[in-house]
Amino acid sequence: MLERLKKEALNGNPATVDDALKLNESYSADMLADAADEIRIRWCGDVIDTCSIVNARSGRCSEDCKWCAQSRFHNTGIEEYDFVPENEAMRAAMLNETHGIKRYSLVTSGRKVAPRDMSRFCDLYRKLGESTGLYLCASMGLLNRDELMQLKEAGVKRYHCNLETSASYFPSLCSTHTQADKLKTIALAREIGLDVCCGGIIGMGESMRQRLELAEEARNAGAVSIPINILNPIKGTKLEDTPLLSEEEIIRTVALFRFIAPKATLRFAGGRMRLSPESMRRIMRGGMNGALMGDMLTTIGNSVADDKQLFSETGFKEQ
């Protein structure tokens, strides 16, 4: 079965959730990761796709997402502000470009950026476009067509909107918006010609089936990039006591994501700094081909130097 589904994926045909679950039940983590690595090489090569983010608006979010430190329903002690200082955003962008990081995104807390604030963010994007050669991305919530078009006209090329988890599990984690709301914004972004980055968080109490449903739903939404975050339980949130996924479970999940989304960039994102060096290397040679580098909004990420060493050790070339 493994050889058959690998051959299908090598031909661009994704596995179904049911087939991926059968793989998980029938084969070792190393066997799955080795097969996923072949699929990754076929469709993505040995080039690592790198990006970075800046927390452009922090805290006071009206949404009740159980995992999030920035929700006003949680008391996590994070720094709160409406706009990142322009000079700070510019300095971070230029530093990232110096490090060879390809993509850069402003990320805002809240259900969406208010229309009155959109022009300010667009002005910042224009300055970033004039001052750097970075590929600009945005993550600003549940925007409408006009707001997305404003970002595109300001130089944004990719819009990020995580589904977070599967449609079957999402209602147990958030009640103030729906996955359908997210899919509407994602569809609008694609309609106006923006690439879409869309993934989620694993380890929030979901089943393996629900994890794989997320991969399928992100692929079906047209995601060219699928970030895989590992829950970092934050004190003060509703998920602060959630048991951590085992490292083997994470390795298996990434490999199976590659079977379900053979052509996408699978992006190693938040929560990975707790993993052993051996597991990180296994994941990079087990289906992953992208990385979110630097700090992760309200948590600390791996250092750029550590990531570059990881890429070198696992045979990846930077773009």
Q: Which residues are annotated as a binding site for [2Fe-2S] cluster?
A: 105, 137, 197, 267
Burial class (CB in 10 A: 0-12, 13-18, 19+), 155: middle
Distance CA 15, CA 26 (A): 15
For 272-301, the three-class secondary structure string (H helix, E strand, C coil) is HHHCCHHHHHHHHCCCCCEEECCCECCECC
Find the farthest-apart pair of alpha carbons in the chain and give their distance in angstroms, rounded.
Answer: 55
Provide the annotated binding site: 61, 65, 68, 105, 137, 197, 267
Residue (of 269, 138, 238) closest to 192 by Cα position:
138
- Taking CA atoms, 104 is separated from 52, 62, 123, 132, 137, in Å, by 5, 25, 15, 10, 6
| Cβ pair 212, 5 in contact under 8 A | no
- Taking CA atoms, 289 is separated from 218, 258, 259, 286, in Å, by 17, 10, 14, 9
| Cβ pair 237, 66 in contact under 8 A | yes
Provide the annotated binding site for [4Fe-4S] cluster: 61, 65, 68
| Cβ pair 169, 188 in contact under 8 A | no
Distance CA 227, CA 183 (A): 16
Q: DSSP character for 149?
A: H
